[in-house]
Amino acid sequence: MRFVHDTLPQRVRLASGDAAASVAEEVAALGATRVMVIASEREAALAAAVTDGLPVALTYDEVVMHVPVEVADRARAAATDARVDVVVTVGGGSTTGLGKAVALTTGLPIIAVPTTYAGSEATDVWGLTAGAVKTTGVDRRVLPHAVVYDATLMTGLPVDLSVASGLNALAHCVDSLWAPRADPINAALATEGARALYAGLPAVVADPRSVEGREQTIHGAYLAAVAFASAGSGLHHKICHVLGGRYDLPHAQTHAAVLPHVLALNVANAPEADARLATAFGAPTALAGLERLRTDVGAPRALRDHGFREDQIPDAVAAVLPVVPPSNPTPVTTENLTALLRAVWEGADPA
């Protein structure tokens, strides 16, 4: 066994019903006195409750998925003008992403309060979109200083979004098992993350207001994101990155629809990953377990329902092929990638 593993430094709190006090403690610990609160209009009420009593110098709500550069530039200028000394993000991956864009150029610390299972809060990866091209990079300045999870902030996340977002988290676990820097540490995190998500998501669907189900899903989503941050992007993330950036498809639904097809392509040549996931799912095979979960929670299947067009498949194939990680267990060809994207487009059963 031989590997090099980075563990990212970050404080994580799970404080259901108590996010405001936890955020206040984190702000005070930093000695910050001018807070920038980033939250979209849709999360404004959640953010107001979480940041009540803080020394807020700026409230910012221009949040756009995949962080267009001009949106990032406006947020950075506003942060500088208001002389803020900490950024508190309250929202999903798009909101955390805007906070990261501000931190990237200003060096400001972030306290992240996630309201989805996207997991951006646990990574030092930033993303920005210029035109139709999404660029990502790695920089320690964008890793949130602290993360405050509060399951009660997620009880209003609609079931369909919860499912798509939870499967986005599960995709972090699965892809971590064959990503470029896969190692035994991130495999252990990914496997426990997959187990927790497999238990948590059906509980969320059965009762979206259940704090226990939400907490179980948060636990899994955090482990998933830590595993992903360490292991890097595997084939699944490379495909989703191309689809999301080029055709402006919704992030979580894209992950949910693509995942079973990448799993089906890779398991034949990844017996250890198959065995780990099968055990985590309590199923005979990883794919059988994932299919049962997708049926139980009513997962998104066909990307044509979310804006992907059949005539975009050849362009997507050409864009994905050059970025396929050499570590991928199954060799990727024009033929098998075309078949995979066609199945994703129409929502066919994974082969």
Smallest distance from ligand NAD to CB 153, Å = 6
Is 43 a binding residue for ligand NAD by CB under 6 A? The answer is yes
d(CA 169, CA 231): 14
Is residue 126 within 8 Å of residue 99, measured between CB atoms? Answer: no
Nearer to ligand NAD, 102 or 153 (CB): 153
d(CA 311, CA 55): 51
Residue selected from 32, 54, 118, 235 as contacting ligand NAD according to rule CB under 6 A: 118
Number of amino acids touching ligand NAD (CB under 6 A): 28
d(CA 109, CA 85): 8
Smallest distance from ligand NAD to CB 19, Å = 12
d(CA 103, CA 308): 32
Please name which of 195, 201, 231 lies closest in space to residue 215, comparing C-alpha atoms: 201
Token representation of residue 228: 């992903």
Residue selected from 177, 226, 252, 317 as contacting ligand NAD according to rule CB under 6 A: 252
Unique residue bearing structure tokens 């709190």: 13
Q: For residue 177, which phi and psi values (nearest 5 degrees)? A: -75, -15
Is 166 a binding residue for ligand NAD by CB under 6 A? The answer is no
Residue selected from 17, 53, 137, 156 as contacting ligand NAD according to rule CB under 6 A: 156
Is 36 a binding residue for ligand NAD by CB under 6 A? The answer is no
Is 191 a binding residue for ligand NAD by CB under 6 A? The answer is no
The CA-CA-CA angle for residues 169, 112, 195, to 5°, reads 25
Smallest distance from ligand NAD to CB 330, Å = 24
Smallest distance from ligand NAD to CB 325, Å = 17
d(CA 211, CA 221): 15
Is 177 a binding residue for ligand NAD by CB under 6 A? The answer is no
Is 97 a binding residue for ligand NAD by CB under 6 A? The answer is yes
Token representation of residue 292: 């049962």
Is 325 a binding residue for ligand NAD by CB under 6 A? The answer is no
Binding positions for ligand NAD, rule: CB under 6 A: 40, 42-43, 65-66, 91-95, 97, 115-116, 118-120, 123, 125, 127, 153-154, 156-157, 161, 165, 168, 251-252
